[in-house]
Structure 1
Amino acid sequence: MSVPVSEYVPDFRPTHVVPRSGLDAWEAPDPGLPTTPLDAFLPVRLEERAGDWGRILCSNGWTAWVDARLLVTVPDDPPAAGGPLTRTADPRPLIARAEDALGRYRRAAEALGAGRLDGENFRLRTRGLRVGMVVDGESVWLYDAEHERWVYCDGVGLSTYAAGSSPSVAAAAVPGAGAGADAGERAPGAGRTPGKGAAGAEGHPGLPPVH
């Protein structure tokens, strides 16, 4: 971790802010090296990514590693008149995956109930299936098993709600990851210590813990 300096970084332009609950920080991408937690709404610049981990830079030159999935992105300037429209992450592929996983489980359960499948084959057929969805009017919470996180959907776009695992260097690559990469636009209820697995009980009463 860099030693804090007294002078501010010239032309510091934040790419993210810390979520309202604050954010734990580490000296290196290692859960065993904690450092001073970050205050809520602190502007930071995402300098690099290593899986789920992100190295952030503060305006005074202090750097640390955080769970980059929980950072809140600073929005870009509004597009100029006549420019192309922009969208957040399309929620439809994740909704389709949830429907497919639930359908596979339902068909296996029906076969088990009808006697066409025994217990061992039922376990084999459903092994690896992980699905979670809570629908409350226009709001939907979905479990993204690929990235081990809950995401919030307002019908238009997705945003990280809570992470269900510790940050991992070996995590799947994030499209566009790097300085200023989108690490989760909104994270209501984020800022918990990564790895506690309380993706549901602490945030929304309908969300089960992630195991």
Structure 2
Amino acid sequence: MDEFGFRPTHVAPPDGLPSWAAPDPAQPASPLDPLLPLQLLGRAGDWAQVLCSNGWTTWVDGRLLLSLPGAPPTATGPPARTADPRPALAEAEGALARYRSLLEDLAAGGVDLETFRDRARGLRIGLVVDGERLWVFDPVHDRWTYCDGLQLHTYAVGDRPRLPDSGRPAAGTPNAGRPPDAGEPTRLVEP
């Protein structure tokens, strides 16, 4: 049993955060205050259901939540890392290789410009490395992430949150409807 009644896992961004009564852009609710402590209850695609420090539950764009550090690991186990940047880098490398191959086919006359455009449609790549700093585009979640050397943090998102194509999950169902390739969800860990 946790001795704390409310243990935040995230905070709202410094500019505040729009919220919705349900994971539906047509049902807006009051915006959340800047840096408001939040506890993640569940996810549905890009949406996140959160419990606010004042006891209010609402839905937000989960890609914009700022993670708080978890409790320190116990001495008996290794420290756990989440949001490892290496899979995002591998995805960027694969996308770049696909684009390079398309360019080579176009330059060699193997495909015409229309075919090149058709095959490149939907391909999105974004990567900036500046010394120890890294920004990488995550096409699965339509967001830019920033790596501090240990883990990825959301930097910016492209559009409003959306549900996965599989439909709307039941309210409060953690990770319901997450596509299997959506990566590791935020984990809630009991101390």
Q: Calculate the TM-score normalised by the size of structure 2.
A: 0.78
Q: Which runs of 4+ in 1 moved over 6 A?
A: none
Please state how far the C-alpha of 1:79 moved relative to its aligned partner.
1.6
Matched pairs, number: 172
Q: Indicate the SS of the match to 1:104.
A: helix
Q: Which residue of 2 aligns with 1:193?
A: none
Q: Identify which of 158, 172, 176 aligns with 2:179.
A: 172
Q: Which residue of 1 aligns with 2:102?
A: 108
Q: Which residue of 1 aligns with 2:125?
A: 131
Q: Identify which of 6, 23, 27 aligns with 1:29.
A: 23
Q: Which residue of 1 aligns with 2:113?
A: 119
1:114-135 C-alpha deviation (Å, 9 max, x unpaired): 3332113222332332111122
Please state how far the C-alpha of 1:176 moved relative to its aligned partner.
6.0
- CA distance in 1: counterparts of 2:54 and 2:117, whole angstroms: 54
Q: Calculate the TM-score normalised by the size of structure 1.
A: 0.71
- Sort the Cα spacing of 1:47 and 1:179 in 2 relative to 1 into closer, same or farther, 3 A: farther
Q: Which residue of 2 aligns with 1:85?
A: 79
Q: Identify which of 70, 75, 84 aligns with 2:69.
A: 75
Q: Which residue of 1 aligns with 2:36?
A: 42
Q: Indicate the SS of the match to 1:35.
A: strand
Q: How much identity, in percent, do the aligned residues show?
A: 55
Residue pair 2:63, 2:141 contacting (<8 A) in 1 also: no
Please state how far the C-alpha of 1:17 moved relative to its aligned partner.
1.3
CA-based RMSD: 2.3
Segments of structure 2 that go 5 or more residues without pairing to the other structure are 165-177
Q: Structure 1 residues 63-72 or 155-164, which shifts more? A: 155-164
Give runs of aligned pairs for residues 49-68 of structure 1, distance below 5 A.
49-68=43-62
